[in-house]
């Protein structure tokens, strides 16, 4: 049982936390802007490389420089929205989707050209785990990731439920036309959507890099699980994205546990297939997701 908790349940919660942060941006973009943003993974990667550069310049901890990396990434993404997405606001959804796919390739190429393609890390050295009851071992980085994720989710909850902008975002998600008629500044809502999604994507990327390593394809590899989490929870439902991310992260890790016999139930290389399978089943069984999100 202790091995199950140490090597499967806790890593699953950590991975699910990362998925949840990324999925919130996906579901907000889909719910408010009405298109699937395939460049969201590259936003995550860009935020990680900004963080890496700041660490090299300052020598500070990743969490210390992460807010500045969020700001830099947000500036880039707001510029991208103005240049690439704003002229296409009234275009059919498929046009925006293809634009995001092209932007994904452009941003990835820019990252590879600027920072290179070699693997690197945000942290160095080996840190001893916290030990409880002589057997339960929890890595300090996992504790940090889970606590930071909870704090970020509380901030998002406050923004969406306690601020005027959050209410405007919910109104625009329900009906853009009605929101516009009631005097809501829809462009301000769009900007706030990008800001929230970008900051959370940056945080998700930094947490993933702390837990593993930095590479130019890290955001792309998380794109499918993030979309699966958003669909599982319900498109346009931030809380559903959180639940979906946690479920998929935990299920992915538990799928490699030795439930039958001595070997893993699934080869770890097939974990991404678990997220895809969950997404397909949910689309067939309940397209609106667990939290009854939008169906387009």
Q: How many CB atoms within 10 Å of residue 72?
A: 18
For residue 136, give the DSSP letter.
E
Report the pLDDT value the prediction gives residue 124, as an integer from 0 to 100: 67
Contacts of 15 (CB under 8 A, 6+ apart): 249, 250, 252, 253
SS3 130: strand
* Cα 193 from Cα 262, distance rounded (Å): 47
CA 269 → CA 10, 76, 225, distances in Å? 19, 34, 14
The pLDDT assigned to 135 comes to 75
pLDDT at position 38: 94
Cβ within 8 Å of residue 227, ≥6 positions away? 23, 26, 36, 279
Given a cut of 50, the residues of the chain with pLDDT beneath it are none
pLDDT for the residue 295? 61
CB-count burial class (<10 Å; 0-12, 13-18, 19+) for 89: middle
Query: Are the beta carbons of 193 and 35 closer than 8 angstroms?
Result: no
């Amino acid at each position: 049982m202790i091995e199950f908790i140490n090597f499967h349940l806790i890593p699953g919660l950590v991975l699910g936390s990362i998925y949840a942060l990324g999925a919130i941006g996906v579901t907000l973009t889909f719910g408010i802007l009405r298109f699937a943003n395939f460049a969201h993974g590259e936003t995550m990667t860009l935020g990680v490389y900004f963080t890496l550069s700041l660490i090299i310049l300052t020598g500070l901890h990743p969490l210390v420089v992460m807010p500045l990396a969020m700001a830099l990434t947000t500036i880039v993404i707001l510029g991208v929205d103005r240049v690439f997405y704003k002229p296409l606001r009234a275009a059919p959804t498929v046009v925006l989707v293809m634009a995001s796919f092209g932007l994904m390739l452009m941003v990835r190429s820019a990252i590879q050209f600027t920072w290179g393609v070699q693997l690197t890390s945000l942290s160095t050295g080996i840190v001893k785990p916290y030990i409880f009851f002589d057997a339960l071992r929890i890595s300090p980085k996992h504790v940090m990731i889970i606590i930071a994720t909870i704090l970020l989710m509380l901030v998002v909850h406050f923004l969406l439920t306690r601020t005027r902008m959050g209410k405007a975002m919910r109104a625009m998600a329900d009906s853009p036309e009605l929101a516009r008629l009631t005097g809501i500044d829809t462009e301000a809502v769009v900007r706030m959507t990008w800001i929230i999604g970008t900051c959370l994507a940056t945080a998700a990327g930094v947490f993933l890099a702390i837990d593993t390593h930095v590479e130019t394809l890290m955001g792309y590899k998380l794109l499918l699980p993030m979309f699966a989490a958003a669909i599982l929870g319900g498109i346009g439902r931030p809380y559903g994205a959180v639940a979906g991310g946690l479920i998929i992260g935990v299920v992915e890790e538990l799928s490699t546990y030795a439930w039958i016999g001595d070997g893993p139930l699934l080869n770890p290389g097939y974990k991404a297939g678990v997220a895809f399978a969950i997404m397909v089943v949910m689309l067939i069984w309940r397209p609106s997701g667990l939290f009854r999100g939008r169906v387009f």
